[in-house]
Amino acid sequence: MLRLQDQPSEFVRSAEAATLSLPPVREEKNLLFQNRLHICGHPSKKSKMPRKFLNLPPELISKSLEGLSVEDIICVAQTCSLLRAVVLSNKFTLLNANDSNILELPFGRPLKQLSSEHLHTHAVESIKATERLDASPLCHKGFFYLPLADLEVAYDNTNPPTDFFVHGNIHAFRSLNTLHVMELCENGVKINAVSFALAEVNGNMKTHHHISYQLSNDQGLLRIASQSYRDAEKASVLQVREVRISSQSFGETTYLFRLDIPGTSEPLSVTIRDPYVSVMTRHNCILVNWRKTTGIILVFRNPEEDEDFARLRRKHTLHWQSNFHGVRTLIFHPIESSMILVSTACDGASPSGIYSADIPSYMPPINPHISSDKSTWTNRVITPRELPTYTVDPEEDHFSVDIEPIGFKQLPDSSWVFEIIVYGPVIDAADDPEEENLESKAIVGRVLFDPRSWTQETELLEHEFTGPAEALWAMGTSRNGPNGGTLFFISLDLLPEPKICQVMVPELGNGSGFNIGWVELDISGFIGNNKLISEATLERHWANIFQAFDSKSRYLYLCVPDSGILVIQL
């Protein structure tokens, strides 16, 4: 686990760039391996060395690989079928590599329990990640624009594409009232595409939408839940579709579910996990089993609120049937009948935290003809269980922490971890908060939880920036799927033409996928001239540009005004 005090040995950071420092020992190791071939074979007959080496017993071949790196062992395994069989048949070849730490799993999960095939696959993915980071300084490898013209996408600079989902060569996003799913080549050339219109409440183009994606277990289907809302009419529509994303039948779309739901409260998020879909609002949570057409309205009560205060609130507060302050996100457990609630800090009014609640075992049937009427729904108040969270005291530690959930991630041993990102500014107690050029720091930390016991591992990354002219924003993508979501941060001067944009990506690390780092990317050549943008709308402008980052492909998605969707590979 990478901790703050250990970082100098793993990462090199400067004001100009962030460079991952990898040990330059590949040539030495290859030379060492060649010398072992000489020992095992006959040095005087170089042309016959490989044959002599391959004639050795498998245990001796495996022994000769000791002390090599994971990357070198994988390279050896790719030279011929016999060496591949030797590596696959003996997992200790990889476990005894001199940099086997890049294969480590959280919470000390033993790698020995993985099959040789799974360990080999895990090693291949780890070195792929490491190779992508082996640059000095780390910069983009290439870029392309998504083929929006082929899809006839209506691009609006003030309301650019959003709600991105990326899985391999599958890209999905929403543009205005239309959702697009594309299959692309690596260079951005379209192979297949499908588009469909989302619900327009009362036919009004100003309908607001929330989107959630779920990848099926066989990764051949993409389930899409969409919630469309029109504030003026207090009307809300919930829809569920399935889109086939396998090449053979790409684009086949099944319209599974449509339901008018109460629109009396502004929605905050939507989440899908077959067969459930939830709509979190400012006051409650609408939970639906869309396969059975059953549902319930849940109100989450603060577990720290005692009964006396609860009775007083019910008596004197108009909206007493409301979620406790700060609950904005719900994430379903991938295999259990439970859900995780995430509360974010709201102007100091409530602390951030995570909570667990069971999915109700019984939910009444829904009458689709009257389902928009809140009075026809069953309401239930439940008290979730508070889970241990990474917390600090803002007064003592001078750190106000926000929580962004990444979601559940499946490890190579098929177990699960739950991941959140915590972040916030740190102010030196000796500094005057009113001072204009205040030197500030931002702490970004990743917390992994073991859902079996809710023990945690925390990694911290400290990032320095200067003064109120700079902002740190969290951006993210879908939280469903075996790999959870992706969160990244942008930190830049709020000026019309920033020279440097720091893109902080917690997923970057030593290749194991469970360490953190940040990279700095100069985007001034991509985003054009922004001098005409007013200062009042500048923050919104930058928030519209940065849309998504895919940690597996290292693709950063920018919606560039008057240009389209730019994809930069780091």
**DSSP codes, 387-451:** -------HHHH-B--EEEEEEEEE-TTS-EEEEEEEEEEE--TTS-TT-TT-EEEEEEEEEEEET
| Positive or negative torsion for Cα 523, 528, 529, 535 | negative
Same domain? 370 vs 266? yes
Q: What is the pLDDT of the chain when averaged over all its residues?
A: 74
pLDDT (average), residues 430-441: 52
Number of domains in the chain: 3
Query: What kind and span of H or E run contains 558?
Result: strand 555-560
Per-residue pLDDT of 376-394, as tens digits, reads 999 998 888 888 765 544 4
Last residue of a domain, one of 99, 133, 167: 133
Structural domain includes residue 183: no
| Positive or negative torsion for Cα 427, 430, 436, 437 | negative
Structural domain includes residue 448: yes
User: What is each CA distance from 272 to 199, 334, 401, in whole angstroms?
Assistant: 17, 11, 27
Instruction: For 216-303, list the strands marked E by DSSP.
Output: 221-230, 235-244, 253-262, 267-273, 276-281, 285-289, 294-300
User: What is each CA distance from 453 to 218, 230, 456, in whole angstroms?
Assistant: 28, 42, 9
pLDDT confidence of 501, banded at 50, 70, 90?
A: low
pLDDT confidence of 503, banded at 50, 70, 90?
A: low
Same domain? 257 vs 381? yes
Do residues 354 and 403 lie in contact, with contact meaning Cβ atoms separated by under 8 Å? yes
- For residue 553, the enclosing domain spans 1-22+138-145+395-570
Average the pLDDT over each of 216-220, 346-350, 502-506, 555-559 and give the range with the smallest value.
346-350
The pLDDT value recorded for residue 53 is 73
Per-residue pLDDT of 166-204, as tens digits, reads 888 899 999 988 999 999 887 777 888 999 999 876 655
CA separation for the pair 433, 427 (Å, rounded): 8
Nearest alpha-carbon partner for 222 in 194, 198, 200:
194
Question: Which pTM was predicted?
Answer: 0.79
Token pair belonging to 302: 């603060």
Structural domain includes residue 344: yes
CA separation for the pair 20, 237 (Å, rounded): 47
Structural domain includes residue 158: no
Which of 131-140, 323-332, 531-540 is most confident?
323-332
Single-letter code of the amino acid located at 532: L
pLDDT confidence of 5, banded at 50, 70, 90?
A: very low
Per-residue pLDDT of 294-323, as tens digits, reads 999 998 887 766 555 455 455 544 344 556
Same domain? 520 vs 563? yes
Residue 98 has pLDDT above 70, yes or no: yes
| Spatial CB neighbours of 395, under 8 Å, sequence gap ≥ 6 | none
CA separation for the pair 221, 214 (Å, rounded): 8
Same domain? 222 vs 255? yes
Same domain? 403 vs 297? no
The pLDDT value recorded for residue 426 is 64
The percent of residues above 90 in pLDDT, for the chain, comes to: 19
